[in-house]
Amino acid sequence: MELVRPDASPQCLHVDVSKVEREITDEDRKRYLRIIDTSLTEEQRQSVVTPDHVYPMQAEVLAVHWHPEFVPMDLIVQRVNSMFPEAQEKLVIPTQHNVLMSLNGYSGVEVDCYSHGFNRKVQLLLHFKEESLDKGADVLKAMLSHTFTYRGSQLFEFMDAVLSTSGYREEQRQKAAGKTGAGEDIVQFAAILTGKLKTLLEENWRETPREMVKNKLIRNWFDQLRGDYGDHVIERTQLYLKQIKKQVKSTFSLKYFYRASEVIEEARSLGAGVVIPHPEQFWPILLADYDVDGYEVWNPQSREYTEFLITVVNKQNHSRVRSSRPLLVFMGDDCHMSEKVKEPEHQDPEKVGRQVGLQPAWDDMAIRKQLVVSGMNRVRIINEYKDRLN
């Protein structure tokens, strides 16, 4: 579809919104079914079990922060085994967002919750021996179900922000446009096509897997439109949408999340291990003295202050009364497995390179220096954390 002047530079493209189809077409319906489809083709299955790189020198695999999403667990296990063929010690626990999942006798989840003392959302990684959830976990499972449903509602706020033309939502649109240089053409273009997505979601609600009801549905929808509208138009639109999403997330109400202390108390009653991920994104949580087993000091999204965070953990261990149960140092690969099965042009460049169990910081010479001082290494963390969960 010819939407822009052919002689225009990518920076000056102007979208002719009058040429954008307003009605939902059969092709739109096919696109929607594609982005909610969680089945894998044989080619996709092969892409999962065949890693791009192999690490025969890595003898331990510690992976307690990663997201299987809709990728079958047996394929993920094959991938990890292929990536680390000589690994002798392993602790690999999935941590889906607000959904318990299990692997090799362990269960895990990443929970969104609310830190009342600091009035902000935080996240917790909970890990269990799978058998500990057989009885008495009904309350925790209900808490997770509520959080999953509420967290998914952010998608509708995101769509409303793209579609609304009044009130504070309009302010969000204008602010996002100003920050990204999006003109009124991109603002309208995004609204028209997001409106289609919202209608398709409502019409196909029963058939839409709940795990697909998340913010990335919008990004995936627009990626499917590249063939019709061109990469330049879609890239500009995605940049604008990403800024709106950031604003929606910052204003998303926290009062419907459970408090972090409530989640920790319930998890501990079931023998859970508790780890705080992304601490550099939630600085105040380092002061909260929550009942946790450790902090994640490195993550593909959080790696600027790794050495400092190791020092913080070491100082806390030297000052803690309960020295017999010191805080542990964790690193999270934060791998999202769904990225492995997307077409290359639709992959998120920030996420596609992440791999389950691959945390280069353990072998970084500067960071290893701090780890040695703190007495931390992968073998110790694997063995001690297993003991705590057992």
- Which of 251, 281, 315 is the endpoint of a domain? 251
Q: Is residue 280 part of a domain?
A: yes
3-state DSSP call for residue 14? coil
pLDDT for 325 equals 85
- Which of 251, 283, 304 is the endpoint of a domain? 251
350 vs 267, which has greater pLDDT? 267
pLDDT for 321 equals 59
Q: Is residue 5 part of a domain?
A: no
pLDDT for 6 equals 42
Average pLDDT along the chain: 91
Mean of the pLDDT values across residues 193-215? 95
For residues 283 and 261, give the distance between their C-alpha atoms in angstroms, rounded to a whole number.
17
Residues 91 and 240 in one domain: no
For residue 261 the two structure tokens come to 């202390």
Residues 103 and 161 in one domain: no
* pLDDT confidence bin for 345, thresholds 50/70/90: confident
Q: Is residue 293 part of a domain?
A: yes
Residues 55 and 115 in one domain: yes
Q: Is residue 142 part of a domain?
A: no
Residues 181 and 285 in one domain: no
Which range has highest mean pLDDT (87-96, 131-140, 172-181)? 87-96
Evaluated on CA atoms 228, 231, 232, 238, the torsion sign reads positive
> Which range marks the domain in which residue 186 is found?
10-31+153-251
CATH number at residue 69: 3.20.20
3-state DSSP call for residue 103? strand
pLDDT tens digit sequence for 55-83: 999 999 999 999 999 999 999 999 999 99
Q: Is residue 144 part of a domain?
A: no
For residues 144 and 97, give the distance between their C-alpha atoms in angstroms, rounded to a whole number.
9
For residue 19 the two structure tokens come to 């040429």
Residues 275 and 381 in one domain: yes
Residues 277 and 379 in one domain: yes
Residues 163 and 204 in one domain: yes
- Which of 220, 251, 282 is the endpoint of a domain? 251
Q: Is residue 15 part of a domain?
A: yes
Residues 128 and 212 in one domain: no
Single pTM value for the model: 0.91
pLDDT at 5 over 50: no
pLDDT tens digit sequence for 265-312: 999 999 999 999 987 777 767 777 789 999 999 999 877 889 999 998
Mean of the pLDDT values across residues 334-348? 90
Looking at the 3D structure of the chain, how many domains does it have? 2
pLDDT at 91 over 60: yes
For residue 343 the two structure tokens come to 């077409």
- Residues in a beta bridge with 115: 120
Residues 54 and 113 in one domain: yes
pLDDT at 12 over 60: no
Residues 228 and 334 in one domain: no
Residues 284 and 380 in one domain: yes
Residues 166 and 231 in one domain: yes
